[in-house]
Structure 1
Amino acid sequence: MTSIPLATPAPSRVELALGHLLACPVGDHDLDAPRVTLLAGSCHDHRLGRAIEGCHIRAARGLLDWSMHDLAQASGLSLSTIRRLENGVTAPETSRSHGIAVATLRRAGVGFALLNHTVAIYRL
């Protein structure tokens, strides 16, 4: 796990590497320690995957300028499944459809990272 402080006045290495980050909160924030945590590896990917919620899927779609129909077509999921995922009706940790939707967004050029208890969505 790599942590990079964001409190520097110059752009951090994360900002330079990832470009613009779109952050969506997931739970309580620890404002005393603003750090970016980039997660990689199966254990950390699992933690990040559970943190990605419907609002994050919707925001990732927005970065690609995709409609729900576009994501449904690209992923092979139905439009009603995409709608349920984005509305939070389907739990991320138990949904195969959630994993398919997130994998499709990643293949299309969207990245996800954890910043404390916040999911950041960015274009690759």
Structure 2
Amino acid sequence: MSALPQTNPSPTGQVISLASGFSKVSVNQQEIVKIFNQKSGLVMQGMCKFEEKFEALYPLFRGLSEAGKPKSLNLRFSSVDKTAYFYYPETSHSEVSHFFSELILLLQKEVKFKKVLKEVILNQNHFKSEQVLLQNAMMD
């Protein structure tokens, strides 16, 4: 089986290598998806499997991949196990690698955004609680 993503240290970019093997895509040191890929004749085939904690990203992945996938890339989705299966001609390797790189980058940004948003909401709720305590203390 073959791997896909190998992240670039740059926060804005990532390179996906669709050579034979296995890869893990992580954000904040948490794996979000595992990608397996292997060559079978003149075709590359594989799957993307979401980690249980990040299965909520599956619908976004599905929607984004259907919206802009290369014509040479065939995708099949399993909602039951939150997995995408794919195959493409070996001649489309660079185009498909670029597509997966962009897609994975969007998913990573989504995870980071949700983490920051959660922290902002927690801070805002904490601030509101402190305001109520301060108001109550001033009323006494």
Normalised by the length of structure 2, the TM-score is 0.29
Normalised by the length of structure 1, the TM-score is 0.32
Going by fraction, where is strand more abundant, 1 or 2? Answer: 2
Higher relative contact order (CA 8 A, sep 6+): 1
